[in-house]
Structure 1
Amino acid sequence: MNPRAALRSAGALSVTGLMLLLAACSGSSSSDEGTDASALTQANTFGTVSSSLDVLKWNFPAEPNTLDPTTTGGYAGTTIVASTCDSLTYQTADFEIKPHLATPTQVSPTKVTLDINTDATFWDGKPVTPADVIYSLEKSASPTAYYNFAFTYVKDMKQTGAHQVTVTFTQPDELFVKELSSNVGTVWEKAYAEKAGDKYGTAEGGIMCSGPLELSDWTPGQSITLTKNPDYWDPTFEAQSDEIDISFVADSSAVTQGLLSGDLDGASNLAASTIDSLSDTDAGTLVSGQTITQTYLALTNPGGRTGSTDLRKAIFGSLDRDTIASSIYQGAAEGAYTAIPSDYWESDATDIYEPAYESYEADRNLSTEDAKALVEKSGYDGETLTLAYAAGDATVQLMAQYLQQQMATIGVDLKLKSLQTAAYSNVLYSSEARKDIDFVIFDNYGYTLDPVESLAFFFGTGQVFNFTDWDDAAVQKGIAKLRTTFDTTKRVTEFVKLQDAWETELPLTTIVVPRALTFVGDGIGGVTTSAAANLQPSLALIGAE
């Protein structure tokens, strides 16, 4: 499914205007045509491994705040955790769920058993026990954990055998098992974590896990070094590099230079602004992979300056998402028009999702005149609104500048605020840091092909990314009902009925669904190039081609 809206003759900033913006930012002529992402290698894995590497040099654009699975966020943190700390299940590069540290069995709608692999050991040689699994799951269910939505209906978790844990639920929950390949199902050693206390997951406190790569060194603000676990229990994910040196350079130009010079062997989560420089080089291959990723424009405060739904409808409805995808992202994204877009859909239910989606797509294609009328109706009187975004990513910077110009065309004054990694992370995870911010651009990395996940994450009461504390009783009841429904057709039919609530209130909207851009250096293979890289021990698979 690839819906495309017709370009609006009197709507958003024109294609010509957008190209002039791109030219002004890049210093190139507006007539220059960049490489279209459709010309890139399209794959979820790239290259095979013929031998191991002594040292692999890899880059992510942002350093994780912690390696504690309960509170790490962002692509780098979750990918590093997935390669050091085994999860109960994992996902293939094509998002198929497989048993890993344990084999889950849905015994009944309200009972799941987890049979732990008896070969699994931690780095210190101790076996992975039911006590470790229960401890880890309980930590992930705690009120401060980022992913506790997965445990909403968990009643208890008990050891029911020498190598078995049984989870029971207060009501049926179709989502729980699907989440076990993410940080939700990550397991770490209870005794080590209890001794480390609040320092667990930090550079000082370290971690103790069972994965194929061990945390060897962490120099905050600079790099993380992982080394091969020589006694890893699962040959499927045996490390193919003896050492992996991970850098965290955010600046797209600097990363590009490192890749072209060979100082870096590869990089994940690249910005679309790197496509022209990296798409045709002997230094390696730029690969475009599948994602469950959305780039959002979200409100960050309840009520206040953005409290009017008419104002939000005007702003969200005036964005030419398809032009953003084709021009700013150079085709490495698809315009998206709902909070839960098509990359989350189950493939066997597209015919149910699609008609409803198309109606929202039509509603979000406002002309400039219609958007201006809504702004006037909203009572907006010229207050300056502030948009926060992450510094260093040239693509996001261009989009922020486009949003600023587009808001000006409908009479809304938008101030841009570029934030370095730590400050940006604070905005995402701290309501205090958001008090002077009205909007934020951020990416969500989904964990499973089921929109119910995102509903719980964004609209669940008290959840981390429910920035505006949006709480609709009917939606909460609806989410609970969806999670009880194991039948895909029935669940999706109910989802389509329910989504009008948040699509009317608009606490956030998706702008685009970006592709995963990964650069694989010449001579490197075994790279997972889809967004499933953070749902499996993907870094361990990378070696010499």
Structure 2
Amino acid sequence: MSPATSGTPPRRRGGIRTTATVALAAAALLVTTACTGPGPTGRGKDAATAFQLTDRTPAPAGDVDSFTWSIYAEPTTLDYAHAYDFPPNQILANVCESLLRWNPDLTTSPNLATSYTNPTPTTWVYQIRPGVRFHDGTTLTADDVVASLRRNLDPQTASVWANSLRNVKSVDRTGPLEVTVILSRPDSTFNKYLAAGPGTVESAATIAASGNDYGNPRTGVNCTGPFSFGSWTSGQSLTLKRFDDYWNPALRARAGQVKFVFLADATTRVDAFRSGEVDGGWMVPADAYAGLRHTKAGTLYFGRNTTVADEVVSNLKGPLGDARVRRALLMAIDREGILKAGVGGVGEVAHSLVTDNLWTDAPGATREAIRRDLPRYPYDPAKAKALAAEAGVNGQKIVIATSPLDSQTTIITQAVAQAATAIGLKPQIDSVSAEKYSTLFTDPAAREGVDLFLTFWNTSITDPLDMYGVLRSDAFSNYGGWSDPAFDAAVDRAVAAHDPAEHTAANAEAQRIALRELPWLPLYTQPVSVFLGKRITGVQPSIAYLYYPWAAEIGASG
């Protein structure tokens, strides 16, 4: 496999994340709904669309016996090698730990590895933290780390993280608490991924004993996090218990128990927030923002995210094979209107396929230069129509795949179809089940005849390469088969470059090409949303909740 293939698999990114079915009339597509902002520190063009990012909610006044958390779907597994979706990851983040830790501010720090060195471009040596205990009381050793990492490399495991570790040649114990990884070639993202799912450490004995049953409702998992697996009632709930022998006092769990309840219907989840039946939940339905901002039952917060809503161009043999048509379509999409109608103005138009906070390795001046250098596609239907006419695609059909999953998905799809009509194309909306929609991201046959489909694409590390790597010619997630030799070369340079300046420059070059050619059309970014009922507080709102033990910080509000 190429050294520059995508660093992460498509599973979570491919899905649309809420499951409410909302029937919206096309005539009501871009009706702006009133939405009161949090005040002058919010973002947005006016008070009606302002929002504010919160780094940390108020500190807890003390511990809490338990709290209940809503989750929009039941996990299919708690096996870290197959966990790449919001339901399993937000649970596992509190139970299992990785060698490094992705923090809510999107920095990386030591975790089960106290330190690491990179003595050669292809050698990484990790010192494992002494005295850490698994939930069954056994002590963490280097052998557990080796077994956990090697499991992702075993084709029989079929790990969703195998591609993140694609350049790993060997993983070996080189001391009682030392592990050495040898790469087949330099890889600037390898070490970063060890703060996410690829770096998860499980007991080697548990892996061997559980076999194919590992991570299911009967066996659960046996890791080192602040909570241990308690019980799992299929179709209803999953419970975690505080692990009193946890090694890190700074992240000792303040709650004795967390109960995750599976509430698939968005309205049911919101009603549970308002009634106090559940104490909180991530991924608040966007059409509930306005109401939850004013409820006395709790507080709605927004935090850091790395997600961009994109339309994936999945057919380059049709009219969208001409880059001029892709540019025209993007200029004809009323992205500000989508933001107002779809998410109450809580978000920003995306001018890139990645969020600004992924460029933290670059100096401020460099980041500003990168932003200035981006191709821009302001809303201009007349110019867009002229550009499409120049390409000679008037009257040609395109198929837009969608699924009636939530209001913002419906609004986006209708807006894109409206834009296609405006530039002279004939859009056909193909609405499929949620299950069939998911296959668009895994099965090329499912994409046959589909020109566009929507994704909400987040990264798992703080690096633009986590996104741009998926557009390389031979990447699994390059769904349209787009190919550009200069782009591939830039991605290859970014993979090989450990020097921050060289890495940033290569990423920026890849971004310039991708935004010029538009294999995917960026629509908007949204912050992470979380609701906390009045009983609890302490969480740090951030996309890092997929890997950071966020539940450990939640305690009594006073």
Tell me the TM-score normalised to structure 1 length: 0.86
Match of 1:230 among 244, 251, 260: 244
Match of 1:401 among 390, 414, 433: 414
Match of 1:164 among 164, 173, 178: 178
Question: 1:280 and 2:260 equivalent?
Answer: no
Distance in 1, Cα, partners of 2:32 & 2:143: 63
Aligned to 1:77: 88
Aligned-partner residue type, residue 365 of structure 2: D
Aligned to 1:524: 536
Structural mapping, 1:329-344, within 5 Å: 329-344=343-358
Match of 1:374 among 388, 391, 412: 388
Distance in 2, Cα, partners of 1:53 & 1:420: 40
Compute the displacement of 1:526 (Å): 1.7
Distance in 2, Cα, partners of 1:359 & 1:315: 21
Aligned to 2:339: 325
Match of 2:127 among 115, 125, 128: 115
Distance 1:227 1:491, change over 3 A: same
Distance in 2, Cα, partners of 1:31 & 1:389: 23
Structural mapping, 1:444-483, within 5 Å: 444-459=457-472, 461-463=474-476, 465-483=477-495
Compute the displacement of 1:139 (Å): 2.9
Q: Could you say what secondary structure the match of 2:69 adopts?
A: strand
Aligned to 1:15: none
Aligned to 1:59: 70
Aligned to 1:101: 112
Compute the displacement of 1:397 (Å): 2.6
Distance in 1, Cα, partners of 2:191 & 2:535: 37
Q: Could you say what secondary structure the match of 1:156 adopts?
A: strand
Distance 1:295 1:221, change over 3 A: farther
Distance in 1, Cα, partners of 2:174 & 2:240: 35
Q: Is the 8 A contact 1:241 1:540 kept in 2?
A: yes
Compute the displacement of 1:381 (Å): 4.4
Distance in 2, Cα, partners of 1:210 & 1:222: 25
Aligned to 2:37: 36
Compute the displacement of 1:163 (Å): 0.9
Distance in 1, Cα, partners of 2:214 & 2:130: 26
- Higher mean C-alpha deviation, range 273-282 or range 373-382: 373-382
Compute the displacement of 1:433 (Å): 3.8
Q: Is the 8 A contact 1:338 1:510 kept in 2?
A: yes
Structural mapping, 1:424-443, within 5 Å: 424-435=437-448, 437-443=450-456
Number of residue pairs matched by the alignment: 521
Distance in 2, Cα, partners of 1:378 & 1:147: 43
CA shift digits 1:13-56 (9 cap, x unpaired): xxxxxxx9799379xxx586222363555312212223333331
Q: Is the 8 A contact 1:61 1:270 kept in 2?
A: no
Distance 1:362 1:251, change over 3 A: same
Aligned to 1:192: 206
Distance 1:480 1:362, change over 3 A: closer
Distance in 1, Cα, partners of 2:467 & 2:32: 40
Distance in 1, Cα, partners of 2:390 & 2:235: 46
Question: 1:249 and 2:263 equivalent?
Answer: yes
Seq. identity, %: 26
CA shift digits 1:449-496 (9 cap, x unpaired): 221222224437343x32234444443333232123223223222322
- Higher mean C-alpha deviation, range 82-91 or range 301-310: 301-310
Distance 1:314 1:250, change over 3 A: farther
Distance in 2, Cα, partners of 1:141 & 1:509: 33
Compute the displacement of 1:190 (Å): 2.7
Distance 1:241 1:456, change over 3 A: same
Distance 1:123 1:422, change over 3 A: farther
Aligned-partner residue type, residue 349 of structure 2: G
Aligned-partner residue type, residue 431 of structure 1: P
Distance in 2, Cα, partners of 1:204 & 1:315: 50
Q: Is the 8 A contact 2:347 2:527 kept in 1?
A: yes
- Higher mean C-alpha deviation, range 194-203 or range 445-454: 194-203
Distance in 2, Cα, partners of 1:208 & 1:305: 52
Aligned to 1:16: none
Question: Gapped runs of 5+ residues in structure 2?
Answer: 1-23, 43-49
Compute the displacement of 1:514 (Å): 0.6
Distance 1:77 1:509, change over 3 A: farther
Distance in 2, Cα, partners of 1:132 & 1:32: 53
Q: Is the 8 A contact 1:390 1:424 kept in 2?
A: no
Compute the displacement of 1:378 (Å): 5.4
Distance in 1, Cα, partners of 2:249 & 2:499: 35
Distance in 2, Cα, partners of 1:204 & 1:378: 60
Compute the displacement of 1:90 (Å): 1.2
Match of 1:490 among 502, 507, 510: 502
Aligned to 2:526: 514
Aligned-partner residue type, residue 88 of structure 2: G
Q: Is the 8 A contact 1:293 1:513 kept in 2?
A: yes
Question: Gapped runs of 5+ residues in structure 1?
Answer: 1-19
Compute the displacement of 1:75 (Å): 2.5
Match of 2:550 among 538, 541, 544: 538
Aligned to 1:11: none
Distance in 1, Cα, partners of 2:138 & 2:89: 24
Distance in 2, Cα, partners of 1:388 & 1:263: 32
CA shift digits 1:140-182 (9 cap, x unpaired): 3456433334323333221110011011223333322222211
Question: 1:48 and 2:52 equivalent?
Answer: no
CA shift digits 1:91-142 (9 cap, x unpaired): 3321221211112423333322111112222222222222221222223345
Aligned-partner residue type, residue 111 of structure 1: T
Q: Could you say what secondary structure the match of 1:528 adopts?
A: coil
Distance in 1, Cα, partners of 2:481 & 2:230: 40
Compute the displacement of 1:290 (Å): 1.2
RMSD of Structure 2 on Structure 1 (CA): 3.0
Compute the displacement of 1:304 (Å): 5.1
Aligned to 1:5: none
Match of 2:28 among 24, 27, 33: 24
Q: Could you say what secondary structure the match of 1:202 adopts?
A: coil
Aligned to 2:14: none
CA shift digits 1:346-392 (9 cap, x unpaired): 2643433444544544245443453364267254644350322461x
Compute the displacement of 1:266 (Å): 0.6
Distance in 2, Cα, partners of 1:106 & 1:336: 37
Q: Could you say what secondary structure the match of 1:242 adopts?
A: strand
Q: Could you say what secondary structure the match of 2:217 adopts?
A: coil
Q: Is the 8 A contact 1:155 1:167 kept in 2?
A: yes
Aligned to 2:46: none
Q: Could you say what secondary structure the match of 1:385 adopts?
A: strand
Question: 1:140 and 2:141 equivalent?
Answer: no
- Higher mean C-alpha deviation, range 208-217 or range 254-263: 208-217
Distance in 2, Cα, partners of 1:136 & 1:293: 28
Distance in 1, Cα, partners of 2:427 & 2:218: 41
CA shift digits 1:261-318 (9 cap, x unpaired): 1111011022322211101121111111111222221134564564443433332332
Q: Is the 8 A contact 2:304 2:528 kept in 1?
A: yes
Tell me the TM-score normalised to structure 2 length: 0.84
Moved segments of 4+, more than 6 Å: 20-23
Q: Is the 8 A contact 1:387 1:417 kept in 2?
A: yes
Distance in 2, Cα, partners of 1:306 & 1:43: 40
Q: Could you say what secondary structure the match of 2:532 adopts?
A: strand
Aligned-partner residue type, residue 535 of structure 1: Y
Distance in 1, Cα, partners of 2:327 & 2:418: 17
